[in-house]
């Protein structure tokens, strides 16, 4: 369904995606795992056509999004649903209007039909009857579920979730995970999830891709990942502080430049 070939995306000297090659199979759940700053959101932004890569291709239904016209890209993007990192609900709109928003933007569907669609999507995420609430009145888990209902409101062929469980308690995490899996089956859609939650990813994934500072260091089924002999993969999935992955990767040149700059300023002052 989606094929990424030699994808490169840099921001200044940061290589966020370093010649990535991977596939997201139709109707399956693929989870992109990786630590903070490993390039997960960047990869998602390239495969959804929100951003253009420096080089490489992203094929969606065999059309290269990186070379598609604006019109074609827009058409393809209508087939995609997105749950952004942090839900991205409109604070000034109630739940109903948040979910109805894409329908109002992209279609001319009659009001009574919009009402039915929104009610149905809310039912699917277990929030029917809460239409009137404002985002500020929702718990984190509810916000994610509203974001999820909005992501599926246009009946997408593919749905992308960026950190759907971050900041949630273990039970809400389980609920969202189950919901993602159920929707994948019920709606028969291709699902791409970005996460750093190992346990819930293992529960819902058909395939896992692990990113590490812009590189794919492993991809395969849950069992293949569990049996990987790559030390970085093992350290990541066991969450061990000991191993080849440093606690943080600091830019020593940058720190040295800052120190030199501070020294200079101190000299001037004294």
The verdict on 34 binding ligand ATP (CB under 6 A) reads yes
Residue 86 CB, shortest distance to ligand ATP, in Å, is 10
Residue 124 CB, shortest distance to ligand ATP, in Å, is 27
Stretch that binds ligand ATP, among 39-47, 52-60, 109-117, 243-251 (CB under 6 A): 39-47
Nearer residue to ligand ATP within complex by CB, 37 or 141: 37
The verdict on 39 binding ligand ATP (CB under 6 A) reads yes
Would you give the binding string for Mg ion spanning residues 97-136, x where CB under 5 A is met? Answer: ----------------------------------------
- Tell me the CA end-to-end span of the chain in Å, nearest whole number: 64
Nearer residue to ligand ATP within complex by CB, 79 or 196: 196
- From the list ligand ATP, Mg ion, none, which binds 94 (C-beta under 5 to 8 Å, kind-based)? none
The verdict on 40 binding ligand ATP (CB under 6 A) reads yes
Which 179-238 residues touch ligand ATP, going by CB under 6 A?
A: 196
Nearer residue to ligand ATP within complex by CB, 94 or 162: 162
Q: Under rule CB under 6 A, how many of the chain's residues touch ligand ATP? A: 13
The CB density around residue 48, as the number of other CB atoms within 10 Å, is 22
Q: Which of 161, 168, 225, 167 is nearest to 195 (CA)?
A: 161
The verdict on 38 binding ligand ATP (CB under 6 A) reads yes
Q: Which of 74, 94, 85, 197 is nearest to 151 (CA)?
A: 85
Would you give the binding string for Mg ion spanning residues 11-50, x where CB under 5 A is met? Answer: ------------------------------x---------
Would you give the binding string for ligand ATP spanning residues 51-90, x where CB under 6 A is met? Answer: ----------------------------------x-----
Q: Which of 54, 63, 47, 86 is nearest to 191 (CA)?
A: 47
Residue 216 CB, shortest distance to ligand ATP, in Å, is 12
The verdict on 41 binding ligand ATP (CB under 6 A) reads yes
Nearer residue to ligand ATP within complex by CB, 166 or 172: 166
Contact 204, 193 (CB under 8 A): yes
Binding site for ligand ATP (CB under 6 A): 11, 14, 16, 34, 36-42, 85, 196
Binding site for Mg ion (CB under 5 A): 41
């Amino acid at each position: 369904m989606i094929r990424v070939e030699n994808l490169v995306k840099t921001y200044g000297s940061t290589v966020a995606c370093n010649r990535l090659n991977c596939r997201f199979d139709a109707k399956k759940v693929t989870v992109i795992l990786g630590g903070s700053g490993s390039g997960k959101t960047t990869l998602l932004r390239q495969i959804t056509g929100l951003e253009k890569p420096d080089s490489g291709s992203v094929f969606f239904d065999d059309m290269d999004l990186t070379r598609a016209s604006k019109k074609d890209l827009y058409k393809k993007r209508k087939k995609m649903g997105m749950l952004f990192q942090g839900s991205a609900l409109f604070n000034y709109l109630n739940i109903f209007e948040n979910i109805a928003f894409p329908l109002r933007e992209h279609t001319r569907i009659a009001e009574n039909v919009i009402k039915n669609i929104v009610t149905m999507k809310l039912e699917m995420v277990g929030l029917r009857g809460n239409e009137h609430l404002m985002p500020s009145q929702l718990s984190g888990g509810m916000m994610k579920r509203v974001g999820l209902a909005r992501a599926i409101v246009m009946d997408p062929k593919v749905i992308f979730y960026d950190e759907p469980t971050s900041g949630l308690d273990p039970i809400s995490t389980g609920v969202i995970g189950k919901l993602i899996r159920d929707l994948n089956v019920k709606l028969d859609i291709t699902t791409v999830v970005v996460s750093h939650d190992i346990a819930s990813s293992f529960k819902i994934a058909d395939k896992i891709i692990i990113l590490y500072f812009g590189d794919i260091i492993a991809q395969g089924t849950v069992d293949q990942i569990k049996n990987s002999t790559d030390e970085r993969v093992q350290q990541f999935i066991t969450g061990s502080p000991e191993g080849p992955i440093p606690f943080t990767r600091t830019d020593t040149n940058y720190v040295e430049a800052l120190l030199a700059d501070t020294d200079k300023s101190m000299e001037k002052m004294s």
